Structure 1
């Protein structure tokens, strides 16, 4: 009897969000400078497509470019696991970003906001 191949999904490699075409510098200001996420090199074969990639812990967030999307009307989002959630709340407010309290999840403190392009973001921290 031949050995059976085992199929499994073993994790998430990356997630992608989009920003308008040509808004990469504004995107870098927000994601790299304000949030402090390091940009990583895109493969040469994808550089002409616009956007940029970020390293978030052991995962990646790909920031692609796309026009004609109403980002502010969707519940789709990324949730960033953070330390010192109150400092994150304050930092974003100081830079003019509205903070939205999310529905409580037992064992976590969290809030939501939107990036400059309307993408929904969640910041979440386990309670001590």
Structure 2
């Protein structure tokens, strides 16, 4: 084999047209992710990008948008209880799920209805 996987570079979630400000409010303001600039040649497509540790989260504009109800990214966090409090304080519904061995976790829906998991390894 002449290639080798190095890790995950980014995750892309779809969003409806003209939703960049909602994405900034949720991912930037509520979750505290830092927005990063999109390359100039991709700005015309819309959307917004965020840094997540050493990886990136891309919110891409999709014509005929439909949210991902099952497929989802899972973000590993430190202080899951603090994140839960932050989300509830901002009126975001937190959805508990079946236990996962070795981790505490819950789900939310982003402003566009996409499923997102947050977990903390124990």
Pairwise TM-score range, normalised by the shorter structure: over 0.9
Gaps of 5+ in 2: none
Q: Within 2, Cα distance between the matches of 1:91 and 1:46?
A: 32
TM-score, L = length of structure 1: 0.89
SS at match of 2:73: strand
Matched, 1:8 2:11: no
- Pick one of 106, 111, 114 that aligns with 1:116: 111
Matched, 1:97 2:101: no
Q: Within 1, Cα distance between the matches of 2:99 and 2:66?
A: 26
CA drift of 1:68 comes to 2.2
Gaps of 5+ in 1: none
CA drift of 1:99 comes to 1.1
CA drift of 1:94 comes to 1.6
TM-score, L = length of structure 2: 0.93
Aligned-pair Cα RMSD in Å: 1.3
1:77-112 deviation line (CA, Å, top 9, x unaligned) = 111111111111111112111111122111111001
Q: Write out aligned runs for 1:28-107 (5 A).
A: 28-71=24-67, 74-107=69-102
After TM superposition, the runs of 4+ consecutive aligned structure 1 residues lying more than 4 A away are: none
Bigger Rg, which one: 1
SS at match of 1:15: strand
